[in-house]
Structure 1
């Protein structure tokens, strides 16, 4: 008995733990459910039943029936250890054969190259953002240059079309694109199996290793065939959101912030708009721009002023212009800028003169004469951009007066004394009106300018 029991134990252990045990265990079956051949499993179960019967017979036998009663003291303990070994092995083979971490590669070659692809995609993302920023800045620059040539109506229509296109892109095109892309990706992914045979084998290997080596609560212990449940007070951590969900939330928040900023900006800009401004501007423009484009020479200014400017400035009611709703504030100012010499178009004349632009007397003390130069600080004016150049706020000024008769006499005096001549570079007609019905002021500036080749440019600013 002392020799038979150890011999039997060594044979069983050699059969189970021998070099051919892994080969007998074999790979997974075609259905992925069987992890060991049926013959090997049945043999282990048979040996387990034999051990159980043998222990039963030994327990029923009396020590006096044997030649050496001390053998019965060691045999049951050895058989019990062998039985526990077989039970543990059968339990592990039912779950899956244990594998060493170095025996089978867990990661595929495609997964090994994942880190390189991740680094490349990160740099590509930065490059795409850089290209987007450069493109946006270039587009904004050329758009700003192009908008300088647009009139008010064209600029308004352009802004409206841009707003409509942005709203259409955000609320119509992008949701449709996302929906179509999601449906197409769902159809494509449904046709491709989620796990191939190789991926399924690798998953089973990972599960087998985790069942063998895991030390977390509730996991299998390789030395204990009995499953140990986790503690009731085991902390359960809520899984964090995936990286895709975090990116989606961040992009959604940024989009909402941009939309809110755009809405606030448009609200702030359009809240100060008044529809009455447009009609007020149109009424004044029709009144004072009539035949203004027919002025070809500086001397043609006097007929236009007599037939268009004065009749529309001085109405039937004192202080009001012809429309009867706008009140004229102050005097109408005529301001001209002269050049020093015809050959020096860029040099502004700032000298003082007498009538007919003759040199002044040495003892002259008149400072408010129409023949004396006044700078822009004295006049409280500012530079004005014209068609040919930028003009200062100073010059030689004339005030027409508060009524039509005074203005007519002033114009006649200017025409007789040749106040406008060949050295006049630009002429400004400036006045301010106030309409109490709409509570609006309007500053009117009519510009008549010429260049060194005799070309005239007519501008108006209201």
Structure 2
């Protein structure tokens, strides 16, 4: 039945639409019966009844009965609907071609439309209105099947429903491609050899002669209509030769059709590619990542309590207060709200949702106490800003002394001992003020909550954070089993040599589980196959175009997609190996070991950046598909015409903008936080360009220079530079639009018209034929007077250009004469 949609014999009135409808009824009824009896075969194994087994194949009598019931109940409605469609008479009885020919040959013969039709023996036919009953039964069966499939799927649950879908799809395709064709071939051989009727050919010929429907103007026979006439010895049709104009027109139409199908193939292929690209990229993003990060940021930074708000810390004492009163209590699960102890929550933090992997660490980086560059009578040593060369790497006794007689526990002594990055499994960290090395002095948050409190108090008393401290980095790894997300938490406090504390934090969710579903794996494989196909196309274009290949903008976009995709594959394999290492370490220790996800987060960031650029390039290339529409193509051509002018304008704008960046940075570096760095100043000026800036800040910083510099920037950048930019775009847009007015591609209109005819939304009338013929004649034989205004405009432009050149040459000659 499925294959008959594509191999419909011409001698039947059972249309392809009706066949497709019967196929869908059979599919949905089979799915309904399959899901109703699904998993009953597994229950049959536990009944203990006699069964037959061949290795892993297990067959019971109940399974055989269920299979027969499903096949029988699925075959009956499908068979009845097929017969109902096949035996329904057409609404209007049409004349046979022979009768039409006879009626045209002899005008005196009465019209034979009402002639009674010869009934066939043994053929049961239904009235024409039974077609509505057949379609109604199809809709009813499909609707009831969908309703019960949804209800049963909700009862099964997600996992069991996926197993059922896998079994039904595999069974459907194996039946369609293997078992059913073999069954059809076997039955066809049996019926052809033993059950063939003698009047089959006669019935087919009668059906072709009498019952074949009359063709509409936009239809044609799918089989040969040539017949030998019994009344004439000559052929009834004469050869009709086409003239040269008609051949050119038909060749042009054929080229349009070929171009149309090439465009359709390109659009469909690229839409499939961009769909798989989006699936691969967005499957690497978890929808719960933002909620996880937002919760942890509010939880650890404690922004809801003003006394212990980490973002408002400005002194060392405030930092110790936050550590001792807020942070240390959040690392261990405390009692519930009703006073019950936190049972089965060992290793969880106080939110009772995230488990701490191993323990948290607090790493300090210090600078050496060096002699002051300028001799001062009071201070002989100074502590400068952090750098790799100024980092202190010596080990000390508690209290930053060379030796001490007092005994401390191992965690306190270890906090004053320098450890390298290889020993700590840490890496370089980039902060807001400086980049910090991988080593340092580390305190580990291990033990009970009371022990942590006492250790922090001792570190505070010993002055673990002093004037030589430049950064304190707290790192911990969390795992949320509810959403299966790892989170690398880094809380940084940077201490300046000029006093003051700058706090920052990073919460990076990482999904270390690759291919959580078979759908993601299939989409990834198909996406890489498409990348290989695009690589083959680009390599072929490179050999064909040679150096001209690099003059095309879309070549760089395509190369960017291919490069980022293959680089992403390498980074993804690297991340999988790192995930495997972390997973093995986690399974061996059950989470009671320190695991640093800093390196995994770096790899994940690189992968995210590459996938983001893939998504960017792939989405930008959608503009390439707009080149077939004249209006949408204006944007691309405008940018092409404006390229040189925009390049010159960009250079001029960069010079002007950088001069204002230097001006604002040097004037307001100590007065405005936005001007504390060059990057912040540039960001502020971009906001001023968009007129989204509070000018009162500049007035408060400098009563005269603030408003003066602001006005100067608005005049030169906003009024002059932006006006020049808009003028360049506007002039080239008008030029492109004028050039395209006489060069209409019409491909999009041709495709839309072809689709309307194919879908039956528009039929070809005589007026369309005549109008198309007239348009063709006007294109070939146009009146020259219609082009006269354009020719005159070009002539005036040429004369004006010649006059201007002569004027300039004359003035130059006058000035050169003595």
> What TM bracket, shorter-length normalisation?
0.3 to 0.5
Higher-Rg member (1/2)? 1
Higher normalized contact order (CA 8 Å, seq sep 6+, divided by chain length): 1
| TM-score, normalisation: structure 2 | 0.26
| TM-score, normalisation: structure 1 | 0.44
Q: Return the structure number with greater strand share.
A: 1
Q: Return the structure number with greater helix share.
A: 2
